[in-house]
Amino acid sequence: MTPFETDLQDLKTEVINMWQMVLLQLSKAKEALLTFDKDLAREVIAKEKRVNALELKIDRDCENIFALYSPVAVDLRFLLAALKINTNLERIGDIAEGIAKYIADSPQKFNPEMLKTAQLIEMFDGSISILTDTQTAFEFEDTILARTIFSRDEVLDDINKKADGNISEYIRKNLDNIPEALYILSMIRKLERVGDQSKNIAEEIIFYIEAKVLKHNKKAAN
């Protein structure tokens, strides 16, 4: 491979490493919620600094490649996509950290009935699943898989829309659990944003591979 091709491959590997780190953060946040493991939640919070550091390194590496090689066509699109995907992944890392903070701050284990009513675990599983598949789509340049993210994000949106009513109904029957219910509602809001970030990532994958801009174009996403 040429030095340019090597640098592009190294960058792709770094982005995939970032993906895996963020996925692990999200998975550990879910585990901390289910087991009420505050030490694990604090680990997620502490490791957010590593996510931030890798984001900065990827940004610098992209800038260096731009400066050294002046890429065009698919290589240029790859670099532009990598920059935006990197930002989206860092934001998902922030979301995992935010959820971990709710767990670390909670005085008691979350009520399993409330978790079920709010569909929070279902939301966690959906978020982790679509983030995993965006990584696969990026790694193997699979735009068919990338396009499945749009409809799957709508499932998360639907849970989020129903959350206010579901939580309100639970609170009416369990007035002593209002603080816990508000924590759960906040987690749902954060996980809905994981879906949004994953959808943005899917758009960038399609842009880089097919040279199609899907942002603000719902028909093209189908």
pLDDT digits (tens, 9 = 90+) for 77-98: 999 999 999 999 999 999 999 9
- The enclosing domain of 26 has a CATH number of 1.20.58.220
Residue 113: the pLDDT is 87
- Cβ-based neighbours of 210, under 8 Å, separated by 6 or more: 143
Degrees (nearest 5) of the Cα angle 122, 206, 14?
75
Contact 175, 125 (CB under 8 A): no
**Per-residue pLDDT for 222 more than 80?**
no
**Per-residue pLDDT for 220 more than 50?**
no
23-68 pLDDT per residue, tens: 999 999 999 999 999 999 999 999 999 999 999 999 999 999 999 9
Its domain, for residue 72, covers 3-221
Q: How far apart are CA 186 and CA 207, in angstroms?
A: 32
104-156 pLDDT per residue, tens: 999 989 989 889 989 999 999 999 999 999 999 999 999 999 999 999 999 99
**Per-residue pLDDT for 170 more than 70?**
yes
Q: How many domains does the chain have?
A: 1
Q: How far apart are CA 131 and CA 196, in angstroms?
A: 10
- Cβ-based neighbours of 106, under 8 Å, separated by 6 or more: 36, 180, 183
Residue 217: the pLDDT is 60
- Cβ-based neighbours of 18, under 8 Å, separated by 6 or more: 51, 54, 55, 58, 86, 89, 90
Residue 166: the pLDDT is 87
Residue 178: the pLDDT is 85
Residue 179: pLDDT band (50, 70, 90) is confident
Residue 175: the pLDDT is 76
Q: Which residue has the tokens 């174009």?
A: 217
In this prediction the pTM is 0.94
- Cβ-based neighbours of 217, under 8 Å, separated by 6 or more: none
Closest Cα partner for 14 from 50, 57, 44?
57
Query: What is the pLDDT averaged over residues 206-211?
Result: 96
How many other CB atoms are found less than 10 A from the CB of residue 98?
18
